[in-house]
Amino acid sequence: MRHAPINPSLFKRNRDRLRRLLHANSLVVVNANDVLPANADGTLVMVPNSDLFHLSGVEQEESILVLAPDAVDESQREILFLREPNPHLLTWEGHKLDRDEATRLSGIKEIRWLGEFPTVLHQLMCEVEHVYLNSNEHRRAVVEVETRDARFVRECQRRYPLHRYHRLARLMHALRVVKSPEEVELIKRASRITRQGFLRAAKFVQPGVNEMEIEAEFAHAFIREGAKFAYPPIIAAGGNSCVLHYLRNDAVCRKGDVVLLDVAASYGNYNSDLTRTLPVSGKFSRRQKQVYRSVLRVMRAMIQACVPGKLHREWQKEAEAMIQEELLKLGLLKPRDIRNQDPKNPALKRYFMHGLGHVLGLDVHDVGFMSEPFAPGWVLTVEPGIYIPEEGFGVRLENDVLVTEKGPVDLMADIPVEPEEVEALMNGAGGRKARPR
């Protein structure tokens, strides 16, 4: 792993919190994600299973966590199953965790090799009454490929049809949405690395550079700190800034345009999420600055609205009402547009068509019940935008916010966002970096 070791006490407490939610005489099984095929004999880089990492700190393929708090054999109450290291794996794939390393990483004392899993599973299934199995229940998930967890669910229910099965995801959503102080610190570290990347990239932006060259500036800053991209970076210049999930990153930045940077770092599997919009020439036009200030006012107000007890749908409506007023001031909407609008498709949706924000953590669009009120320990993104295709540009701004009992804490307050700050950064002492040849 590239990141610094995480204190295993975090994962131990996470397991303890989960145990308190289980029925008596229960079994929990959590699988690592698959290593997905690419083309020919290639494979993609494995993405750690977020629930497995939350409970164990393990990122290694084929790993399985088993929790059976009431097992008769105390050694079977908490087991981590791993691939057994051998010379062949060492030669072809590199180092694999041994027992001592896995215990230091996870805080789990009982480490066994995968070959023992079928026998132990059968022994425990003969004891337990309730079985908690995992699945992807994110409300926006599109699952088209059968996962390792899904295959295990099917096989387990086939072999043991008379047990009482439960959805582990319901419990994990409730646990993961509230971040511990250690998790907040990891998100803060990801945010600090994101800041480094943004400062580097902002000084590089100028007419003539390619979007992909800006992406490379972020990559340099992230990788040298042991981080990675939290999600595929969006580097969107000119009209591309109106494309919400633009990923080509291959256009030239031109004088007079803006470039929208939706790029952030992930550190220790905990994610940050940042968006800034920059003037390619180093100075916003009058119109660009008008729109920018409108978006910034909404972001500032909605950050202050991240308070315990707030419902996400109310927060979204408040943002939309404020954006509607800004659109009227900008001349993008007329009062008659509001009077004549379809309530199911408000006029403002032409210029602001996405959600205001989402919970953030081990997944960028993290799990949690968004129908429940915000609570202390939630980390939310705040990302309003105004997109004007007919004028050839869009503006989106985004910071990450920790909800606390004393009020919202902006985790990205030290990343320049005021238009004058952005311009000063781009034109500061020492000038901009020369474009690489």
Q: Does domain 9-176 have CATH number 3.90.180.10?
A: no
- For range 231-239, the mean pLDDT: 98
How far apart CA 341 and CA 347 sit, in angstroms, is 6
- Taking the CA atoms of 310, 314, 320 and 325 in sequence, report the sign of the dihedral they define: negative
CB burial string 223-252: b at 16+ within 10 A, e below: eebebbbbbebbbbbbbbbbeeebeebebe
Categorize the per-residue pLDDT at 1 as very low, low, confident or very high, splitting at 50, 70 and 90: confident
What is the total residue count of the chain?
437
pTM of the model: 0.96
Return mean pLDDT, the chain: 96
Q: In what order do the strands lie in the sheet with 270-271?
A: 228-229, 265-267, 270-271
Give pLDDT, residue 437: 44
Which CATH superfamily does the domain covering 181-426 fall into? Creatinase/methionine aminopeptidase superfamily (3.90.230.10)
CATH 3.40.350.10 segments of the chain: 9-176
On the question of pLDDT at 405 being above 60, the answer is yes
Categorize the per-residue pLDDT at 45 as very low, low, confident or very high, splitting at 50, 70 and 90: very high
pLDDT digits (tens, 9 = 90+) for 326-358: 999 999 999 999 999 999 999 999 999 999 999
Say what the alpha-carbon torsion angle 40, 43, 44, 45 is, to the nearest 10 degrees. Answer: -150
CB of 106 closer than 8 Å to CB of 58: yes
Closest CA to 302 of 313, 286, 289, 316: 316
**Chain centre to alpha carbon of residue 35:** 20
Structure tokens at 248: 């080509």
pLDDT digits (tens, 9 = 90+) for 133-168: 999 999 999 988 999 999 999 999 999 999 999 999
How far apart CA 177 and CA 243 sit, in angstroms, is 29
How far apart CA 288 and CA 277 sit, in angstroms, is 10
CATH 3.90.230.10 segments of the chain: 181-426
CB of 32 closer than 8 Å to CB of 49: yes
Which residue in this structure is represented by tokens 């990675």?
228
> Counting beta carbons within 10 angstroms of the beta carbon of residue 16, is it exposed (0 to 12), middle (13 to 18) or buried (19 or more)?
exposed
Structure tokens at 433: 């970096």
Paired residues of 410 in beta bridges? 401
Would you tell me how many other CB atoms lie within 10 Å of the CB of residue 335?
8
Which whole-number Å values give the CA distances from 283 to 115, 236, 417, in the listed order? Answer: 63, 17, 14
